[in-house]
Every structure is written in C-alpha cells, then in structure tokens.
C-alpha cells in the first residue's frame, strides 16, 4: 500500500508508549509505537522479531523504484498475522513497518555478504530474489543514501531489539530470540530446487544452547505435515548470528518457512485460510517450546 508519510530524522516524532486499563483497573503496557516499528510487550523470556514483514516504502524514495518493486513481492508476507497468537503466550513482538527493499534489517550494517560465494541480496537490495533490478536505471542508492537509510531505519530497529533482549535477560535470567521469516519455496537465483517447508537456523548450533535447538527440532519431528531441515540453505541471518550468544544468556533461533505452508505462492500473494489454519497449531507448539525452555542450571 502506498505510504504517504514523509519524514526525516530531525522530524521523527518521539516514541510513544500507550497504556491500556487491564482487569481490576491495573495499567498494563499495550504497544509501543515508533515511526519504524511497533513493539508489543510480553511477559516471558521470548522476543519474536520479523524483520521482513514491512511493506511500506517512504514517499520520498518511491520514485526510484520500478513499478514491480513497489509491489514488494519479496516481503515475508503476513507473519504478524500468522504469529498473532504469540502475544497471548507471553511473547514480545517487534514488527517493522518498512520493506526490506528500503534497507534489509537482517543484514550487517557494513553490507558483508550473508552467504559468501552464493547469490545474495545486499543491505540495500538492488535486485528482486529473481535477480531482476529493483530500481529505475541510475536510481540505486549511493553510499551516502545507504548510510542515511541505516541511520534512519536500520539502527532504531536494532536498538529496540538490543534493549528488549537486555530487559528480558534482566527480568528472566535469559532471553530467547526467535527471528521469523518466510519465502517462496522456489527461487532459482538464490537456491536450487524446492525448499523444505520449515528451515530452522541456529548458525550451525552457535546461536543457542543445544537444549533449545533440540526442543525446536523435536516440535517438527513430532509432526508429519511439514518437511523440515536444520541449518540447511538458511542457517540464520545477521540477527540470529549477531544476537545469539548462548554464553551470554541470549539464545537465537531463525525459522525460514515457505509461503506454501500458509499462503498462495504467486501474485497477488493472498493469505490461504485453510493452509494458515493447518500450520498454526504447529507454530503454536514451536512458540510454546521457545517460551517454556529454560537453560540448564
């Protein structure tokens, strides 16, 4: 959908915290609205980040893109809707507003390639996952514009992520970070063949305790409806690798799920009610496992 809002760093409204009256008249935190994300606070050690769910492009940047790019086809569609049950299970949710086509929140700010030696999209992507150009000729962002996007859109998301992880650790003794993604099951420019439905990533076992990795693998091993792999083509992106520090009490797991598990895989990329209803109980068991897991004493 078009974004008519235009702002610069100096005109960013300050973050706004809202409160709701809970039962018994007690005030409980509702959501925290920042210009580039919404934070839904929880009450367990689990934080769910969904860095590619945003669909908006700022009005001042839209003219640079091709008409196809403005449709933001490489969005991790509907993940906020799919994981909306997680708030009731006590998870904190961090939901960005802007498209990965502006700046990719799951890439290093120095633009280091995610998977060296393979085709990758960049910090400020210049291509669709099909390999086709995102920008009108000559309109790709220069280094100064890339840095502006990092400062304006990338940094605030990561500051919020870091602050939440610190708070969860302080409150609970440990934090669990679940980085939720979804993707088309076939993308020849990025990978061969068809992906399994569920692609778990733990940076080859480095981003979380072995017990947590086992707990999430067990969830998928206990069902037969969805194929799954651990540390296959998708091993965990920048967020999983950067913040998953099991020795420091922060445990990160990424799930890259195929669109085919819950939606239509072709434009206009519609939500598929029957598929979504079928996969939701599996995702609920996954989130429950992430909430309930405790580090070995």
Q: What is the DSSP letter of 73?
A: T
Give whichever of 234 and 293 is closer to Zn ion, judged by the CB atom. Answer: 234
Tell which residue, 48, 129, 46, 62, has the closest CA to residue 98.
62
C-beta of residue 181 within 8 angstroms of C-beta of residue 217: no
CB of 183 to Zn ion, least distance (A): 6
- What is the total count of residues that contact Zn ion (CB under 5 A)? 3
Q: What pairing do the DSSP bridges indicate for beta strands 27-34 and 37-40?
A: antiparallel
Question: Binding to Zn ion (CB under 5 A): which residues in 85-144?
Answer: none
Which range binds Zn ion by CB under 5 A, 37-45, 83-91, 180-188, 211-219?
A: 180-188
Tell which residue, 59, 93, 208, 74, has the closest CA to residue 132.
74
Tell which residue, 266, 269, 271, 203, has the closest CA to residue 239.
203
Give whichever of 45 and 236 is closer to Zn ion, judged by the CB atom. Answer: 236
CB of 227 to Zn ion, least distance (A): 19
Give whichever of 52 and 197 is closer to Zn ion, judged by the CB atom. Answer: 52
Question: Binding to Zn ion (CB under 5 A): which residues in 238-257?
Answer: none
CB of 292 to Zn ion, least distance (A): 25
Cα distances (Å, whole numbers) of residue 296 to 58, 202, 289:
45, 18, 15
Structure tokens at 158: 């990561």
Q: What pairing do the DSSP bridges indicate for beta strands 16-21 and 27-34?
A: antiparallel
Give whichever of 52 and 235 is closer to Zn ion, judged by the CB atom. Answer: 52
174 interacts with Zn ion by CB under 5 A: no
Count of beta carbons in the 10 Å neighbourhood of residue 27? 9
CB of 27 to Zn ion, least distance (A): 35
Give whichever of 209 and 257 is closer to Zn ion, judged by the CB atom. Answer: 257
76 interacts with Zn ion by CB under 5 A: yes
Structure tokens at 18: 């809202």
Give whichever of 37 and 293 is closer to Zn ion, judged by the CB atom. Answer: 37
Residues 6+ apart with CB under 8 A from 221: 228
Question: Binding to Zn ion (CB under 5 A): which residues in 43-72?
Answer: 52
Give whichever of 183 and 282 is closer to Zn ion, judged by the CB atom. Answer: 183
Q: Which residue has the tokens 């893109």?
A: 65
Give whichever of 57 and 209 is closer to Zn ion, judged by the CB atom. Answer: 57
CB of 76 to Zn ion, least distance (A): 4
Q: Which residues pair with 183 in a beta bridge?
A: 258
Q: What is the DSSP letter of 150?
A: I
CB of 85 to Zn ion, least distance (A): 20
Which range binds Zn ion by CB under 5 A, 10-18, 110-118, 173-181, 205-213?
A: 173-181
With the C-alpha atoms ordered 179, 182, 187, 189, is the resulting torsion angle positive or negative?
A: negative
Q: Which residue has the tokens 């989130």?
A: 287
Residue nearest to Zn ion (CB): 181
Of these, 128, 149, 174, 181, which contacts Zn ion (CB under 5 A)?
Answer: 181
235 interacts with Zn ion by CB under 5 A: no
Give me the residues that bind Zn ion (CB under 5 A), please: 52, 76, 181
């Amino acid at each position: 959908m078009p974004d008519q809002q235009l702002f610069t760093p100096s005109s960013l409204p300050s973050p706004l915290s809202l409160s709701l009256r809970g039962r018994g008249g007690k005030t409980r935190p509702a959501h925290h609205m920042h210009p580039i994300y919404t934070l839904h606070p929880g009450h367990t050690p689990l934080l769910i980040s969904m860095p590619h769910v945003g669909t908006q492009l700022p009005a001042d940047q839209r003219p640079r893109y091709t008409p196809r790019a403005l449709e933001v086809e490489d969005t991790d569609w509907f993940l906020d809707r799919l994981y909306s049950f997680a708030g009731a299970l006590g998870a904190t949710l961090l939901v960005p507003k802007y498209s990965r086509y502006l700046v990719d929140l799951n890439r290093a700010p120095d633009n280091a390639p995610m998977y060296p030696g393979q085709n990758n999209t960049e910090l400020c992507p210049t291509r669709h996952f099909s390999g086709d150009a995102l920008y009108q000729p000559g309109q790709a962002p220069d280094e100064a514009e890339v840095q502006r996007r990092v400062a304006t859109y990338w940094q605030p998301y990561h500051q919020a992520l870091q602050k939440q992880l610190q708070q969860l650790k302080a409150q609970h003794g440990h934090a669990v970070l679940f980085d939720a993604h979804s993707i088309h099951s076939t993308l020849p420019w990025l990978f061969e063949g068809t992906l399994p439905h569920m692609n778990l990533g733990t940076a080859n076992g480095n981003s979380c305790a072995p017990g947590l990795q086992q707990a999430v693998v067990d969830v998928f091993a206990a069902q037969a409806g969805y194929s799954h792999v651990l540390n296959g083509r998708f091993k965990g992106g920048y967020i999983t690798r950067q913040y998953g520090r099991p020795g420091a009490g922060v445990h990160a797991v990424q799930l890259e799920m195929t669109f085919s598990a819950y939606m239509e895989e072709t434009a206009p990329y519609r939500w598929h009610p029957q598929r979504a209803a079928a996969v939701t109980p599996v995702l609920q068991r996954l989130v429950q496992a992430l909430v309930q897991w405790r580090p070995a004493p």
